[in-house]
Structure 1
Amino acid sequence: MQLTRHGTQAPHGTQAPHRAQLPHGAQAPHGTGAPRGARRALAALAACATLAAHPAASQPSREVLDGAAPAIVRVIASGCGGTARGGTGFAWESAGQIVTALHVVAGCDTLRVNFQGIGERPARVARLFRPADLALLAVDQPPTLTPLLASTRIPVGETVMVFGYGLDTSTREERPLYVTTASTSTPLLSDAVNAEARTQLLSLGAPALETEILRVDGNLLPGHSGAPVLDAAGRVVGIGSGGLQRGTVGVGWAIRARYLAELARAPALADGRAPGLGTAPNSPGYATLVLGAGALRARCGQLDFIRSRTGLSLATLVASSDDQRGFQSIAMTAGRPWDVLAAMQFDIWTEQRSGAGVAVPAGGTLTPQAHGCTARWANGLVDLFVSGADVPAANDPTWPMAVELTTSAFGNAWAQEFLPFLQIDPGFSYGPPRSGPGGLLINRMTFIGQRPGQVPHAAFQTLLAKGNATIGVAAITRHYPYPMTPPPDEATYRAWVAAALAAYLSTVPP
């Protein structure tokens, strides 16, 4: 992607500023301009409660999900070439027969299946069907339960549920997915991936590019490998498999349930162990939905985050930005060539319920504080502040007020040390918030300020609201270089640029 001045716009549609710093301010702010403008922007975020969302009438009911739950298990694999893996599986046709994704168990010495509320059972690989990335596990002395049934129907245009152990949680959870029309018009895996991911998949050897998939929008997360995707009747229509690492929340797909018949006809394995898959080239295109053991976790405000992916380049993250023109405008003001910015590395911290992806400059760790989490660079000159809060469901009449209160609390938490010398910069701030797929609300604001006799400071804030969660991400610099003043040093300035771009790219899946 080329970042040029020609044809770009600032996020709110204003003309792109001709500055080399990030963010831009027409003049040094003064006085107490922050609270009123910030409150208006925060209130506007909560005011947009009525949004277009994917249809939900066909999704599984609570009764259906409760009936399916006992058959859904956590798969724990160890001795996998020096690593451990976590995924999901489900009982199919009998209680002792567990389906999961092949890449969860391939090359692993020891397998365990955890039946929630009952306990673990040892397992072995009984059969595998490599083209569809499926494995069938045999479990000794399984508990009494009703296995799931499968359907070959393609629920295009419907809201289905992936039910499993996303982000390696200890309890199973369901998450909505929307089956896109691409599942019938371009149903093959080869149609859903780019050239980079095709190379990786060919090297791994599973799943095959000719495999039929369900293309979905929504919260397919690490840990959902092998998880059942359920239709309104509670039947398995897909099995969680993989995705593209196109951004902070990725893009996922599920293997069509019709391949379960192929799995049942596959030859039995004599030694109970699935051989390892091939070695994928070092490329960020494709991501399995397996979560390795030992992932970092942090509770930020009222929500839990886990470091789910590491070392993604800015160029990879930009591919799924919800506001490409706004990103180009803010990135070009950094005063650094695009190849320098594109090479910046980021880790992704995923919020466990909403699936929101928060970008953090590589190596930064979210450390819990009183009101959220902070990652810090340059001896405290640059911070990234992250926090989340529970809110009622979006269809609850109290939702707009809850969003306003929680996002206001987020702004107050990081801004206290800078008040009253803080002011919104309209050049890099939305006016009203914007709506995204599936009921997402998003607002971005830039603040600048300067205490008398001290160096200027600045912050870039992204506010997200969807469903039962609000999330805020704020990049803060305590030494902001105005156009005529150089940055304190290049490393500090790059840390600030990276933090601001990370805040801009954080989002929630559709």
Structure 2
Amino acid sequence: MRRALASIALSILLGLPGSAGAQMAEVFKRSSESLLKIEAGNNAASGFIWSDSAHAVTALHVVDGQPRIVAHYVGADGKIVASTAAVVEKVLKESDLVLLRLQTPQNRKPLALNLAPPAVKQSFDALGFPLNIAGYSSTEVKLRFGGNQLRTILPPKVLREITDYPSTSIEILNLEGNLVPGLSGAPILDAEGRVIGIVDGGLENGAVGISWGIPASHLQLLAQSNVSKLPGATRSAALFAADLQADVAPTQSLGTFGLTKLRSRTYQQLAATADDQLGLAQLTQMFQMFNPNAFRYDIYQDLVSGATVVVPEGAQITQQGNFIVVRTGDARMSMKIQLKSVSSPQEAIAQAQVFEQQLLEPGNGVAVLPDPAWTYLQAMQRFGVTTIRKAWNRAVYRNGMLQPEKYYFETLATNGKSQLGVAAVNNDSSYATNQMEVACMQGLADPRCAALVRSRETWARMVLGVQFSSFPVQQF
């Protein structure tokens, strides 16, 4: 008897058969047989068998405007085992849903529905193909407390962009979780593998995102629809779930975490919904001579923590010592990044201090002073994410005088589970360089000016990228 109990305890610790993890793995395995990878033009997303083996559901925005739709059955090894053309049979525009008829269906069991209202903070799993990965993957989500309509959770700027669908007044599932492009149309499953909702979309909240789903009860409305024509609507640039192309770059493994390039965006697109409009406006004013509206950025995310970093388009990212380092070919300017797991606010503060110690390298003969013009007096808390932004001058004593050496602009952010540090580093902020830079900006004719002005523009791009870096919001 003791041996049996010990075996059960060990199975719980190791996740062997009998554990909750193993039970969910079995649920996912069974449900995955009803999962489909949907390709429509260059869009790649998710879908699932519903009502009978010849029909499937996905998000309307995935297929709208696309002349050819293909559904792939994918095996556990990530290989496509069968494919079929699909045609639109029913459209429920207000809920951003479409029912597809599969022309050569496989004998797969449709997923069952759970129409009971989900509880706040209850855990579910979206099962689909995030970022167009070869095989399916599960992503944990929870129902947020707060608004249950798009018009109650989206800022006015974005609401104005949603001109056709989805409806901003229908009931939605306000989701907490790191949902990314490719999961549009994926089923959201309960612990028994029943569909409680369908992943619909995401809003670009600056560089990061918030996501929502459509309740499973809307599938009944879809089944009753007598509309079969695609609306051909113009998509909102802020809805990133409609943005995925089929050539997503592979994840870069950097230290203990990986960065996946999600998308590229202009400064204007990121600025429209950034979390700190006042600070952003002040920085933009300082860099107005470079026309920041023309800047372009690559957005990378750690898919486990959701930490999102924004770097100048085309920048190279490598692991160097304690940091992930971002370079653009300018030896004077760089960005440095750290991400650490934390379990408490106190640990987040401690990890932020470690980041700053390693970044600023204080010591004998060194003075590190905050720049009050660009340093927050206190942290900003917004929807479960705590952020503080700072600027630092690093100077060294030479010949009895304090000489400026480096300048830093940093963002520290935590979502309670991870601590992110991102900094732009000016490796030469000496008096001589700064004075020459100012003179060049004022029109000095000197052969050194072209390189200095380019370097200053690189600095502007990096500082604004640091300003945009953060975490997806956690709650409303």
Equivalence map 1:335-374=2 (5 Å): 335-337=286-288, 340-341=291-292, 344-374=295-325
- Specify the code of the residue in structure 1 equivalent to 2:383: P
Shift of 1:267: 6.8
2:199 corresponds to which residue? 240
Q: Structure 1 267/434 Cα, relative in aligned 2: closer, same or farther at 3 Å? A: closer
Whole-angstrom CA distance in 1 between matches of 2:205 and 2:122: 23
- Specify the code of the residue in structure 1 equivalent to 2:426: T
Contact 2:126 2:188 in 1 (8 A): yes
Q: Deviations over 1:360-416 (max 9, x none)?
A: 233434344454433223622111223334x36x37xxx955x56755664466556
Whole-angstrom CA distance in 1 between matches of 2:330 and 2:78: 49
Shift of 1:473: 1.2
1:9 corresponds to which residue? none
- The DSSP-based 3-state class of the residue aligned with 2:407 is strand
Q: Structure 1 192/115 Cα, relative in aligned 2: closer, same or farther at 3 Å? A: farther
Equivalence map 1:252-271=2 (5 Å): 252-265=211-224
Contact 1:86 1:293 in 2 (8 A): yes
2:62 corresponds to which residue? 104
Shift of 1:502: 1.7
2:84 corresponds to which residue? 123
Shift of 1:475: 0.7
Gap regions ≥5 residues in structure 1: 1-60
TM-score when scaled to structure 1? Answer: 0.68
Q: Structure 1 148/407 Cα, relative in aligned 2: closer, same or farther at 3 Å? A: farther
Q: Structure 1 481/111 Cα, relative in aligned 2: closer, same or farther at 3 Å? A: farther
Q: Structure 1 142/300 Cα, relative in aligned 2: closer, same or farther at 3 Å? A: farther
Contact 1:74 1:115 in 2 (8 A): no
1:497 corresponds to which residue? 460
- Specify the code of the residue in structure 2 equivalent to 1:174: T
> Would you say 1:423 and 2:368 are equivalent positions?
yes
> Would you say 1:88 and 2:18 are equivalent positions?
no
TM-score when scaled to structure 2? Answer: 0.72
Larger Rg: 2
2:426 corresponds to which residue? 477
- Specify the code of the residue in structure 2 equivalent to 1:502: G
Shift of 1:425: 0.7
2:407 corresponds to which residue? 458
- Specify the code of the residue in structure 1 equivalent to 2:262: S
1:448 corresponds to which residue? 393
- The DSSP-based 3-state class of the residue aligned with 1:260 is helix
Equivalence map 1:31-430=2 (5 Å): 65-66=24-25, 68-70=27-29, 71-72=31-32, 75-78=36-39, 80=41, 83=42, 85-93=43-51, 97-106=55-64, 107=66, 108-117=68-77, 119-120=79-80, 121-125=82-86, 127-131=89-93, 132-137=95-100, 138=102, 140-142=105-107, 147-151=111-115, 153-155=116-118, 157-164=120-127, 165-169=129-133, 170-183=135-148, 187=149, 189=150, 197=158, 201-202=162-163, 206-208=165-167, 211-230=170-189, 235-265=194-224, 277-280=232-235, 284-289=237-242, 291-296=244-249, 297-314=251-268, 316-317=270-271, 319-321=273-275, 323-327=276-280, 331=283, 335-337=286-288, 340-341=291-292, 344-377=295-328, 379-389=330-340, 391=341, 394=343, 403=348, 407=352, 410-411=355-356, 414-415=359-360, 421=366, 423-425=368-370, 427=372, 428-429=374-375
Contact 2:196 2:216 in 1 (8 A): yes
Contact 2:60 2:96 in 1 (8 A): yes
Q: Structure 1 150/420 Cα, relative in aligned 2: closer, same or farther at 3 Å? A: farther
Whole-angstrom CA distance in 2 between matches of 1:176 and 1:122: 29
- The DSSP-based 3-state class of the residue aligned with 2:188 is strand
Larger relative CO (CA 8 A, sep 6+): 1 or 2? 1
- The DSSP-based 3-state class of the residue aligned with 2:326 is strand
Shift of 1:351: 1.6
- How many residue pairs align between the two structures? 423
Whole-angstrom CA distance in 2 between matches of 1:150 and 1:279: 33
- Specify the code of the residue in structure 1 equivalent to 2:71: L
Q: Percent identity?
A: 22
Shift of 1:209: 5.4
Q: Structure 1 418/133 Cα, relative in aligned 2: closer, same or farther at 3 Å? A: farther
Q: Structure 1 230/298 Cα, relative in aligned 2: closer, same or farther at 3 Å? A: same
- Specify the code of the residue in structure 1 equivalent to 2:311: V
Whole-angstrom CA distance in 2 between matches of 1:208 and 1:498: 36
1:29 corresponds to which residue? none
Q: Structure 1 387/336 Cα, relative in aligned 2: closer, same or farther at 3 Å? A: closer
Gap regions ≥5 residues in structure 2: 1-19, 439-448
Contact 1:155 1:231 in 2 (8 A): no
Whole-angstrom CA distance in 1 between matches of 2:126 and 2:227: 28
Q: Structure 1 193/431 Cα, relative in aligned 2: closer, same or farther at 3 Å? A: closer
Aligned-residue Cα RMSD (Å) equals 4.1
